[in-house]
Amino acid sequence: TLIRREDYVAPIFWIRTVDLTFDLDPAKTLVTSKMQLERNAAVPHGPLRLHGEELNLLRVLINGESVSFRQEGHELIIDNVPDADFVLEIRNTCCPDKNTALSGLYTSGGGFFTQCEAEGFRRITYFLDRPDVMAVYTVTLRADKSRFPVLLSNGNLLDTADLDNGRHMAKWHDPFPKPSYLFALVAGDLVAREQRIRTRAGKDHLLQVYVRRGDLEKTEHAMNSLIASVVWDEARFNLPLDLERFMVVGVSDFNMGAMENKGLNIFNTSALLASPATATDADFQRIESIVAHEYFHNWTGNRVTCRDWFQLSLKEGLTVFRDQEFSMDMAATPSARAVCRIQDVRALRSMQFPEDAGAMAHPVRPDVYAEINNFYTPTVYEKGSEVVRMYQTLVGREGFGKGMALYFERHDGQAVTCDDFAQAIADANPGSELSKRLDTFKRWYSQAGTPRLQARGQYDAAARTYTLSLQQVNPPSPGQPDKLPQVIPVALGLLSRDGAALPLQLDGEAQAAGTDRVLVLDSAEQSFVFVNVDSAPVPSLLRGFSAPVVLDDGLGDEELLVLLKHDSDAFNRWEASQRLALSRLLTSVRNGQPLRLDDAYLDAMRAVLRHPDLDPAFKALALQLPDEAYIAEQLTVVDPQAIHAAVTQAQEQLAAALQADWAWAFETHQVSGGYQPDPVQSGKRALTNLALSMLVLHATRSGDGVWPGRAYQRFKDATNMTDRMGALSALVQAHAALAEPALERFHAQFKGEALVIDKWFALQGRATELDGKTFARVKQLAKHSDFTLKNPNRARSLIFSLCMFNPAAFHRTDAAGYVFWAEQVLALDAINPQVAGRLARVMDRWTTLATPYRSAAREAIARVAAKAELSNDVREIIDRQLAMD
Ligand code: ARG
Ligand code: ZN
């Protein structure tokens, strides 16, 4: 059954307070819930329908009296409810041990944990499990004291006591009304890193990071990230920590990255634990951003929440925007900020753009879903963040701050919609570029698909004018054949051929307004005339990626080389490097001819690598080729093997032609001193690791053993995981003979570290080489004693690595990759539908595949579809994929 946005109706009753008591037992937990219901006079009276799944109902009382009820599917229906306020009491049990879906109350590593977003609370007890029902929670936990010495829930600790039979209790109270999806409890044998802080407002707070006993020393980075997040949100948005105590807990079985439960964030250990020996620079960066993300939800998501799940981007798009801004501010230097932006855009283009063009294409605010868990997507999160970024571009940074202030002034304590957010930002900025065209701007929420922006410039030497013509096309997507023009902010600059920034004066303006400005396209076509332009300029368009669109600016190599050398916008400088590579790769793939990198390109790349002023982190990004998923998006018919072949050739030629330069880069960017995950050190490590992989690749291809030997030595001697993984991955991608002993050694060394063993599986799942036997190896590894589908991190590390991130090993002419995918989706679906649904997405773009892949993919999808008892999660995705045919 499909849920539609237009069908929203407010509930018949509000639930104002909830008193929950848990008698925790892994096999059978008893839940008692006492709720105060308040009649919502705005809607007609009727039966009360409560959500409940996988529960054992014991009793139902209204105002202390038993009542008759029915159970229908996943609903508990009470027909004769008072048309007035009343107290509802429910008693039920659930089975945490059997909960392999990791939604609701489950056990992991001997402890109890919850995940209630989006609809997990109904797997704990019967409730109006919808985000517009906000209640004040009081929670009593009872459990065996020796096995579960720590008992946590949201808010403030009111009371603790010892009970009979070795049990004990703790009582928590959260003063802030919240929707059920923000409820959490944790019980287990945990230890905490603690830090007291005083915020700008002069209040004292206790920050705690709870983990399993052996993991305490891996929590320092998370704690530092949390402190930085508290400070940043107060400074940038005036949003203080509103709780006396803020807790973060790590758990190794978790479906996503983390969850923002009020005052009690629960994290996948992969998004929380880090030490230099076990985590890479990228892990450190990811942890900082996820800790910040969950903390920022405290205001954007918790204090102001979503009216219904179609509004998910209200909190997720906004909170991703906030965590991206935070990461950029933490990066400090302009160059390190640009690196953050480049990484974010790279991820958007290789994850969200394909989604927007495929079977699951949906608007930032979807109109319909079968399973809400399928809509925690790059579109809702990352494209949603780009939409928020465009608000800021249109009203300015200060104006955006005012808009946020008005949003909280109006809506604190409420469950609201994306329209409410848009209105607040616009109302706080009357007369702004946003307010002038708010309705048109809001099409970003309703239209799926990535707009194409075409730009063509014409220089008139006699008139000294430059006319820039912009045109947008919004291609159809499933269910949306015709679309209207959107509002596209185009940040731009003009450069002279020798690289000087030209003043930007539009026709009709009295004087130039700097060398960097934003044009707003809000119709299908529009031209802008710049005056007093002394020479034919090179346009630098969409600076900083000012809108999530595909740009066709018609620039040739010569102009791209000017931008690569001189653009003051680091993002477009990087973009030029990618465009130069992309056009060469695409020509080779389209013509079915071997790739030959020309001197112009190679010289330009050498100049970047050797550049005296560019940051190593930037160099590493500019010298990295576009990823295979992004290349595939440029083609109407996709042959994954042809793309992989072209990328491999490009890599080999870059490795060969720049060999001396790679060696120079490797030698001169070594990090000295103790490990710090900061932008300066991590930039150097990124560049030396890229250089090493190039050196190993070239040496292996030319039969020289020196660099592979050095890589092996470096792998063995590394003092941090970034360098160890860098060297190991260089070997795994190119040198099978040394990769084998290295992998063995790595496994032996880290066998007690689950998160590192995940890396071990992932590296092999993503390997392109290993004697061309990756696929067979993955099938073998699926039987390894360390492997299990039950742990989402482990399932992702091996299975997703192959199916999602290793196109060359996955797309096979014998279709074995697709058969494997179908088997794994079905196996996972029986354990954990959310994770299975995610794996199912691998086939979203199957209709663009070339022969023979396309027909084999259809067959594999049909195989999954044929299974009678599929979860909602997988069924929705498979149905949508089949509808593409
Ligand atoms: N709200 C969480 C976050 O973005 C994600 C939780 C989603 N969980 C789910 N089962 N879909 O941080
Ligand atoms: Zn979030």
Ligand 2 centroid – CA 292 distance (Å): 10
How do residues 608-625 score in pLDDT, each as one tens digit? Answer: 999 999 999 999 999 999
Beta partners for residue 388, in sequence order: none
Name every residue whose Cβ is closer than 8 Å to that of residue 484 and which is 6 or more positions away in sequence: 440, 443, 447, 474
Residue 770 has pLDDT above 70, yes or no: no
- pLDDT tens for 519-541 read 999 999 999 999 999 999 999 99
> Minimal CA–CA distance to 568: which of 514, 606, 616?
514
Ligand nearest to the CA of 316: 2
Residue 325 half-sphere exposure toward CB, CA atoms < 13 A: 20
User: Which atom of ligand 1 lies at the shortest distance from residue 297's CA?
Assistant: 12
pLDDT category at 201 given cuts 50, 70, 90 is confident
- How many A from CA of 293 to the centre of ligand 2? 6
Quote the CA–CA distance of 491 and 495 in Å, as a whole number.
14
CA pair distance 261, 245, nearest whole angstrom: 13
Asked if residue 71 lies in contact with residue 121, where contact means CB atoms within 8 angstroms, the answer is no
- The pLDDT tens digits for 436-476 are 999 999 999 999 999 999 999 999 999 999 999 999 999 99
User: Shortest CA distance to 533 belongs to which of 553, 565, 507, 555?
Assistant: 507
Output the CA 183–ligand 1 centroid distance in Å.
13
CA angle 871-875-881, nearest 5°? 155
- Give strand ranges (E) for 163-199: 167-179, 185-188, 190-198
How many angstroms separate the alpha carbon of residue 259 from the centre of ligand 1?
6
Decide: 444 and 364 in contact? Cβ < 8 Å.
yes
Going by alpha carbons, the residue nearest to atom 2 of ligand 1 is 259
Mutate to test the pocket of ligand 1, among 105, 312, 376 (most ligand atoms within 8 A of CB): 376
232-242 pLDDT, tens digit per residue, is 999 999 999 99
Question: Mean pLDDT across the stretch 708-734?
Answer: 98
Buried b / exposed e across 752-766, counting CB within 10 Å, b at 16+?
ebbbbbbbbbbbbbb
Question: Relative to the CA of 381, which ligand 1 atom is closest?
Answer: 4
Helices (H), 637-703: 640-657, 659-668, 679-701
Ligand lying closest to the C-alpha of residue 260 = 1
Q: What number is the average pLDDT over the span 156-181? A: 98
Q: Which ligand is closest in space to the CA of residue 119?
A: 1
Q: What are the phi and psi torsion angles at 483 (to 5°)?
A: -130, 160
- For the CA of 103, the closest atom of ligand 1 is 10
The two three-digit tokens of residue 627, written as one number: 């990823």
CA of 623 to the centre of ligand 1 (A): 34
Q: Is the pLDDT of residue 769 over 80?
A: no
- Provide the 8-state DSSP code for 534: -
Q: State the residue for tokens 């990756």.
A: 774
CA of 295 to the centre of ligand 2 (A): 9
DSSP H helices, 33-127, are none
Q: Note the pTM of the prediction, 2 decimals.
A: 0.99
Instruction: Give 402-409's long-range contacts (Cβ < 8 A, gap of 24+).
Output: 402/428, 402/429, 403/427, 403/428, 403/429, 404/237, 405/238, 407/304, 408/239, 408/299, 408/303, 408/304
Give residue 322 CA to ligand 2 midpoint distance, Å.
10
Q: Which atom of ligand 1 is nearest to the CA of 319?
A: 4
H helices present in 238-333, as ranges: 281-296, 312-331
789's enclosing H/E stretch is: none
Q: Burial code of 797-836, b = ≥16 C-beta within 10 A, e = fewer?
A: bbbbbbbbbbbbbbbbeebebbebbbbbbbebbebbbbbb
Share of the chain above pLDDT 70, in %: 100
Give nearest CA residue, ligand 1 atom 11: 373
* Residue ranges around ligand 1 (CB below 6 Å): 117-118, 255-256, 258-260, 293-294, 316, 373, 376, 834
- CA–CA distance, 207 with 193 (Å, rounded to integer): 8
pLDDT of residue 98: 98
Q: Kindly state the tokens that stand for 536.
A: 């034919």
User: What number does the ligand 1 atom closest to the CA of 301 have?
Assistant: 1
Residue 575 annotated as catalytic: no
Distance CA 327, CA 321 (A): 10
- Residues 693, 687: Cα–Cα separation, whole Å: 10
Query: 733 vs 155, 339, 454, 636, 696, CA distance in Å?
Result: 49, 25, 38, 29, 9
243 vs 173: CA distance, rounded Å:
12
The Cα 341–Cα 678 span in angstroms is 16
User: Which residues on neighbouring strands pair with residue 250, listed in sequence order?
Assistant: 267
Paired with 179 in beta bridges are: 134
In this prediction, residue 332 carries a pLDDT of: 86
Residue nearest to atom 5 of ligand 1 (CA): 259
For residue 255, the ligand 1 atom closest to its alpha carbon is: 10
* Biggest distance spanned by C-alpha atoms of the chain: 95
Spatial separation of the C-alpha atoms in residues 623 and 645, rounded to whole Å = 18
Q: Strand, helix or coil at 243?
A: coil
Q: Tell me, what's the pLDDT at 282?
A: 98
Give residue 771's pLDDT band: very low, low, confident or very high (50, 70, 90): low
Closest residue by Cα to atom 7, ligand 1, is: 117
Average pLDDT across the chain, whole number: 98
Show the tokens assigned to 647.
């990328």
Q: Which protein residue's CA is at the shortest distance from atom 6 of ligand 1?
A: 259
668 dihedral zone (left: phi>0; alpha: psi -120 to 50; beta): alpha
Ligand nearest to the CA of 323: 2
Secondary structure class of 768 (helix, strand, coil): coil
Overall average pLDDT of the 175-185 stretch: 99
* Residue entry with tokens 């991206």: 324
Burial 241-261, CB ≥16 within 10 A → b, else e: bbbebbbbbbbbbbbbbbbbb
Among 119, 256, 372, which is best to mutate for testing ligand 1, by the most ligand atoms less than 8 A from CB? 256
Q: How far is the CA of 877 from the centre of ligand 2 (A)?
A: 22
Asked if the model's pLDDT at residue 325 lies above 80, the reply is: yes
The phi, psi pair for 802, rounded to 5°, reads -70, -55
Q: Per residue in 301-311, is it b (16+ CB within 10 Å) or e — as a string?
A: bbbbbbbbbbb
Q: Which one of 113, 178, 259, 373 would you pick to mutate in the ligand 1 pocket, going by the greatest count of ligand atoms within 8 A of its CB?
A: 259
Quick one: pLDDT band at residue 836, thresholds 50, 70, 90? very high
Give the type of residue at 279: A
pLDDT over 90 percentage in the chain: 99
For atom 12 of ligand 1, the residue with the nearest CA is: 259
Which residue has the least CA distance to atom 8 on ligand 1? 117
Nearest-ligand number for the alpha carbon of 792: 1
φ/ψ of residue 286, rounded to 5: -65, -40
Most informative mutation of 117, 255, 315 for ligand 1 (most atoms within 8 A of CB) = 117
221 C-alpha to ligand 1 centroid (Å) = 22
Residue type (1 letter), 271: A
In the three-class reduction of DSSP (H, G, I as helix; E, B as strand; rest coil), residue 571 is classed as helix
First vs last C-alpha separation in the chain: 22
Task: Report whether 75 contacts 105 (CB < 8 A).
Answer: no
As beta bridge partners, residue 305 has: 415
Ligand 1 atom at minimal distance to the Cα of residue 258: 12
CB atoms under 10 Å from CB of 439, counted, come to: 9
- Joined tokens for residue 825: 């989706």
**Which pLDDT belongs to residue 772?**
72
Tokens of 573: 């400088």
Q: Which of 117, 119, 294, 769 is catalytic?
A: 294
**And the tokens for 416?**
């609201």
